[in-house]
Amino acid sequence: MYNEYSEALEALLRDHCTPAVVRQIESGGSGADLWRLLDDSGFADSLLPEAGLSLADVAPMLFVMGRHVLPVPLAQTMFARAVLRMAGVGVPEVPEGPIALADLDGAQRTHVPCGATATWFLVQDGAQAALVHRDAVALSPTGVRDDLTLSLGGCAAPRFPLPAGLLRSVGACLHAVQMAGAMSSVFDLTLQYANDRAQFGRNIGKFQAIQHQISVMAEQVAAVRMAAQIACAADGWQPDRLRAAIGKFNASDAVTAVTSIAHAVHGAIGVTAEYDLQLCTRRLHAWRLADGSERYWARELGEATCEADGLTVDLIREWSGEAA
């Protein structure tokens, strides 16, 4: 999942979003410098009409953000600005700071990935949404160490109409692609370690048991990448809800297997703070629950299948974008 836009973003993140920077921000440091660099580059406006890009065009950029476990909500801000423009909020009224997306969906609280580095929150509940500053909303940590996800409660702010479920679908789509990118990094780290680590006179990657585990991981990573591409199969910037469900279900469902194998192959070193693997696996577990876990989206897909006419195979082909 690469194009000229993602290659430019990859070059920028390679230099300015190193593991050291991620650790510094996760430990409570400000992400303002990194955000300013990204915002000045224009990536945050990629989904505005004047940019002329579709969801499929920006998917490789989301993948790269996941590979680097970007600790600021660039992907969420891209979609937030597109949502605000669609809702009729003029450009002078759209804030310049990072915006995180939150869908209460009738609940009193919800988890917001990268909420710790967001200045604004676009919050939806039912068919109404509000844009609020972080100082005007009830936020609390999740209790997980170095977790950038925050728990968000209700807020009192001027509201505007928004199609019900839009932010949940958007969040599911963007996190599915970012999870595909993070899993790609996990696989690369695991494969490299298996080829470098020697035990009993040979590299552990030569042992059949290790090869079997890595092959299972490779299958999961490839499947998640394909599901992420399905989630982003759209001409415009808005994801189709059922395609987003396919992407998020597959990505969330693969997290346990991929992270468990990665840590098993790495052994004790994989859980140490000094090693980069835990940066990816911790973020994967946070994203797994964001905007609905695999159980949530499995139920949604199951209900849609039961309510649809025709054969299940034909329905799946339609969701996947396959010609009839």
Q: Which two tokens stand for residue 79?
A: 């979609």
Reported as a single tens digit per residue, the pLDDT across 179-213 is 999 999 999 999 999 998 888 888 888 899 999 99
Whole-angstrom distance, CA of residue 305 vs CA of residue 295: 15
- The H or E element spanning position 60 is helix 55-67
Whole-angstrom distance, CA of residue 177 vs CA of residue 256: 17
Q: Regarding predicted confidence, which is higher, 106 or 254?
A: 254
Reported as a single tens digit per residue, the pLDDT across 113-132 is 999 999 999 999 999 999 99
Whole-angstrom distance, CA of residue 312 vs CA of residue 306: 9
Angle formed by the axes of helices 241-266 and 208-231, nearest 10° = 160
Question: For residue 92, is pLDDT > 60?
Answer: no
Nearest Cα residue to 251 out of 149, 148, 174, 150: 174
Reported as a single tens digit per residue, the pLDDT across 8-31 is 999 999 999 999 999 999 999 888
Per-residue confidence (pLDDT) for residue 17, from 0 to 100: 97
- Locus of tokens 């993140």: 13
- Locus of tokens 């876990």: 293
Half-sphere exposure of 252 (CA within 13 A, CB side): 24
Per-residue confidence (pLDDT) for residue 247, from 0 to 100: 96
Q: Calculate the average pLDDT of the chain.
A: 92
Q: Which two tokens stand for residue 134?
A: 């972080």
Nearest Cα residue to 291 out of 160, 107, 147: 107
The region, left, alpha or beta by phi > 0 then psi within -120 to 50, assigned to residue 126 is left
The SS3 assignment for 86 reads helix
Q: How confident is the model at residue 77 (pLDDT cuts 50, 70, 90)?
A: very high
- Locus of tokens 């993070």: 182
* Among 59-68, 80-89, 205-214, the range of highest mean pLDDT: 59-68
Question: For residue 91, is pLDDT > 50?
Answer: no
CATH of domain 167-319: 1.20.140.10
Q: How far is CA 59 from CA 5, 31, 174, 224, in A?
A: 10, 23, 8, 13
* pTM of the entire predicted model: 0.93
In the chain, what are the domain boundaries?
4-163, 167-319
Per-residue confidence (pLDDT) for residue 321, from 0 to 100: 67
Per-residue confidence (pLDDT) for residue 324, from 0 to 100: 52
